[in-house]
Amino acid sequence: MAIATTNPATGEVIKTFEPYGQGEIDQALDKAQQAHVRLRGTSFADRASWMTRAAELLEAEADDVAAMVTTEMGKTLTESKAEALKCAKAMRFYADHAEEFLAPEADVDPADVNASAARVEYQPLGVVLAVMPWNFPLWQAVRFAAPALMAGNTGVLKHASNVPQCALYLSDLFARAGFGEGAFQAVLIGGDAVASIITDDRIAAVTLTGSVGAGSSVAEVAGKSLKKTVLELGGSDAFVVMPSADLETAAEVATKARVQNAGQSCIAAKRFIVHADAFDEFSKHFLAQMEKTVTGDPTDEATTFGPLSSEQGRKDLQDLVEDARAKGATILTGGEVPEGPGWFYPATVITDISPEMRIYGEECFGPVASLFKVDTIDDAIALANDTEFGLSSNAWTTEEQEIDQFTSRLAAGAVFINGMTVSFPELPFGGVKKSGYGRELSQLGIREFCNAKTVWIG
Ligand code: NAP
């Protein structure tokens, strides 16, 4: 894939970039290693002051940054600005909490281990390669970078090929904030250049957010080199609605959960599983809400969601819809590619879905909702879990017993009751099954790229 900024709202190629050659990659890895040696000798207080400065710069530059994000991948300006501000919040969170999260732990009675002192110290691993996707081009990178830098690691960012300006901006932001050159560097390369970087001795570990295919390739290479990986992969999150729920509110939130970021979110609700006693009422509200959404110019405040990020992304989505239609699904609304420039796609609701349709099992990365009717809570949970993914699940009910059933039996990295899945710096984020492994955010996230070193003193 060419490394280029192409406006998804118009299809216009705005700027292209030469991929880095081996010499530039080598230089970047050297600088990252030198920066790590420097950074691990700095105090939490120093790093916190630079991270806070990065947050301040990002907040001050949020309007320009938002315009850049919207131009590169098509989300609305409102969503782009909210993403920039969320990144600043996460930076402040780790500036404030990193020291406490990584404080030495001395929970063991030294006498029990024949020592005068025994503790666990959390120390940085070194240079971490971060392979990141375009859908939240700031947030995905920052939720890795903020804890990693605060721990004293450095990062090499291989961002998606369609968001090179976002990549270069983040590199520059952390350097300007005080972390200095090399602490978090973008390398403009394609996916084919990733393997040789993973195996390079200067790289200590790898994190990837992206598709199952990319995760699996990266994990294979990292596994052979015995390097730690964190993988945040796809999702096909269920959104279960039970009769006791406030169905109108559930339908409103369901719509937001499906169409935010034009549906291109790993944690977007994708499969709407509704109890038969609530199905007609919920479907009526859900359809009305989905039909109310406005697709169009992402810079217009009246727009609910902008274009998909690429022509290929739209084709993949339409292929899933056509496959379902051909196999007997009912398209309740949407489902047609609009005329005109840009990679727009309307809010779509599909029902009468069966397991032989691709949409039943594959991740649907766009504003297309699959709607299912079930008779019991057991059927709802079985259907919700009948997926190779396990990122998050949503359930709507006011019955305490049902809440317990959902929280204990839904097979996912997170369960959100009476709300949509959202990531917070304060809460761990990650999946099970093919949604990946490891956790980002919270205390768990910052410890992923640390050596939990046992210290025993006789
Ligand atoms: P993708 O194709 O896997 O791309 C993600 C990143 O991996 C890009 O930087 C890409 O580079 C690189 N890449 C692709 N194939 C590679 C390979 N074989 N070896 C090494 N690197 C490779 O994913 P996408 O389609 O752009 O993004 C959407 C996917 O990401 C969805 O599945 C979504 O659910 C998932 N996602 C997961 C999370 C989460 O937290 N769990 C968050 C956001 C997105 P190029 O751009 O150069 O190809």
- Tens-place pLDDT, residues 318-344: 999 999 999 999 999 999 999 999 999
CB 166 within 8 A of CB 137: yes
- Tens-place pLDDT, residues 53-71: 999 999 999 999 999 999 9
What average pLDDT does range 40-51 have in this prediction? 98
Q: Calculate how far, in angstroms, residue 134's C-alpha sits from the geometric centre of ligand 1.
A: 8
Q: Which residues contact 22 (CB under 8 A, 6 or more apart)?
A: none
* Best residue for ligand 1 mutational test, from 144, 211, 233, 316 (most atoms within 8 Å of Cβ): 211
Q: Which residues contact 189 (CB under 8 A, 6 or more apart)?
A: 3, 19, 20, 25, 158, 197
CB 412 within 8 A of CB 387: no
Instruction: Point out the residues that are catalytic.
Output: 232, 266
Which residue owns the Cα nearest ligand 1 atom 8?
Answer: 160
Question: Is there an atom of ligand 1 within 6 Å of 190 CB?
Answer: yes
Which residue owns the Cα nearest ligand 1 atom 35?
Answer: 210
Question: Token pair 């006498």 is at which residue?
Answer: 111
Amino acid at 89: K
Question: Is there an atom of ligand 1 within 6 Å of 191 CB?
Answer: yes
- Tens-place pLDDT, residues 344-367: 999 999 999 999 999 999 999 999
Question: Is there an atom of ligand 1 within 6 Å of 39 CB?
Answer: no
* Best residue for ligand 1 mutational test, from 75, 139, 165, 266 (most atoms within 8 Å of Cβ): 266
pLDDT at residue 190, rounded to an integer: 97
Residues paired with 130 in a beta bridge? 157, 207
Question: Is there an atom of ligand 1 within 6 Å of 234 CB?
Answer: yes
Which residue owns the Cα nearest ligand 1 atom 10?
Answer: 160
pLDDT at residue 348, rounded to an integer: 98
- CA–CA gap between residue 151 and residue 134 (Å, rounded): 25
- Tens-place pLDDT, residues 171-193: 999 999 999 999 999 999 999 99
Is a pLDDT exceeding 80 seen at residue 111? Answer: yes
- Tens-place pLDDT, residues 147-164: 999 999 999 999 999 999
Question: Is there an atom of ligand 1 within 6 Å of 233 CB?
Answer: yes
- Tens-place pLDDT, residues 203-235: 999 999 999 999 999 999 999 999 999 999 999
Amino acid at 36: H
pLDDT at residue 1, rounded to an integer: 76
Question: Is there an atom of ligand 1 within 6 Å of 134 CB?
Answer: yes
Backbone angles phi and psi of 230, in degrees to 5:
-120, 130
